[in-house]
Amino acid sequence: MRIIGFPGRYVQGPGALKSLPDMLTELGAQRPVLVSDDIVQAAVGPQLPPSLPRLRFGGECTREAVADLAGQAVALEADTLIALGGGKTIDTAKGVARTLGTRLVIVPSVASNDSPTSRLIVLYDDAHRLVAVDYLARNPDLVLVDTEVIVQAPLRFFRAGIGDAVSKRYEARQCALSGGKNFFGGRPPDVALVMAERCHAALAQYAPAALAAVSRKEVTLEVEAVIEATVLLSGLAFESGGLSLSHALLRGLTAIPALAEALHGEMVAYGSLVQLCLEARSDEERRAHASWLVGLGLPVTAAQLGARLSATEQQQVAELTMNAPYIGHFERPLTAADIAQAINAAEQIGQTALVG
């Protein structure tokens, strides 16, 4: 069967946060509870109703953190969780909502990845190693994206969101070619591939101007278009279109301690170059992709992520990557040796692009 999923409602624009009280009323929320960390709370919290109870997120999305906040939410008799923050805050709130069966509202403070629209919950351990992916029963009830909030965040986060989105065109295509299943357990419908292509086209057209505008903390039409691509289109494309090697590689990269400070989208951008080195593409296409990433300020070598990988570490990353559930979403069966060879090839192409 072909299956696709969407959040209940998606709202984006400058000042969108002002509509939150009315949206909560429409949802029938009687006892909403906010989940945020201290930094985001200090920056954005004053724009929210002062009477809104808050659960403090400590910084890492672990099963222990989810269980702890779920216990606090029960004590508050919460019927709606509001996630205000970045990807880990969002995933932790998703975990709490899953545990308690409450409604869920997502208010991203950054556009660093496409987690807001999806029902996926990415869990880590205290050392920031990816350990599991859980699922909500349904997508978030509301995703509220205030673009004035987004542009106040550091530019690195906005750039990382672009990095997370650039892979979707290639990953959805490989999932479809391999007969793979999406995150709803069905075949990707054609519209998911259309969204992946539109996401890529929007980034190609608007990303440079949007990055320049965000560096000035300005909301422009280009910024709005890129946020729609990185949050909405990318999110719908990966969840309903499926993932492939670009994201599978995170199983290996997150296990390298020296790469712990790299953002999700930065690693995915690098992973997209590795994936193209495995696909039946010309060297010209691969070099063009690497040059495009360099132009956007995205990493094309492991050193840019935090460490030069030795041959042994490349092999370690490759072997761990084989454990990802969507490693089979590729036009031909892959081995750890294939992936290690692709990492090495990507490194050479990336280094050339940096000096060229």
For residue range 58-113, what is the model confidence (pLDDT) as tens digits?
988 999 999 999 999 999 999 999 999 999 999 999 999 999 999 999 999 999 99
pLDDT confidence of residue 133: 86
Count the Cβ atoms, other than its own, within 10 Å of residue 61: 23
25 Cβ partners below 8 Å, 6+ apart? none
Nearest to 66 by CA among 121, 144, 143: 121
Q: Choose the weakest-confidence range: 47-51, 107-111, 221-225, 333-337.
A: 47-51
Largest Cα–Cα separation, the chain: 59
Q: Is the pLDDT of residue 132 over 90?
A: no
* pLDDT above 70 as % of the chain: 100
One-letter identity of residue 16: A
**Mean pLDDT, to the nearest integer, of 23-34?**
97
pLDDT confidence of residue 270: 98
Q: Is the pLDDT of residue 129 over 90?
A: no
- Which structure tokens are listed for 33? 């509870």
pLDDT confidence of residue 131: 82
Read off the pLDDT band of 7 (50, 70, 90). very high
Q: State if pTM tops 0.75.
A: yes
β-bridge pairing 10-13 and 142-146 = parallel
**Mean pLDDT, to the nearest integer, of 112-132?**
88
Read off the pLDDT band of 159 (50, 70, 90). very high
Residue 228 CA to residue 235 CA, distance in Å, equals 10
Q: Do 270 and 346 contact (CB within 8 A), yes or no?
A: yes
β-bridge pairing 120-124 and 130-135 = antiparallel
Residue 40 CA to residue 312 CA, distance in Å, equals 39
pLDDT confidence of residue 125: 84
pLDDT confidence of residue 124: 85
Q: Is the pLDDT of residue 20 over 90?
A: yes
Q: Is the pLDDT of residue 287 over 90?
A: yes
pLDDT confidence of residue 280: 86
pLDDT confidence of residue 346: 98
pLDDT confidence of residue 279: 96
> What are the start-end ranges of the H helices in 126-185?
147-150, 155-166, 168-177
Q: What angle do CA 156, 157, 158 make, to 5 degrees?
A: 95
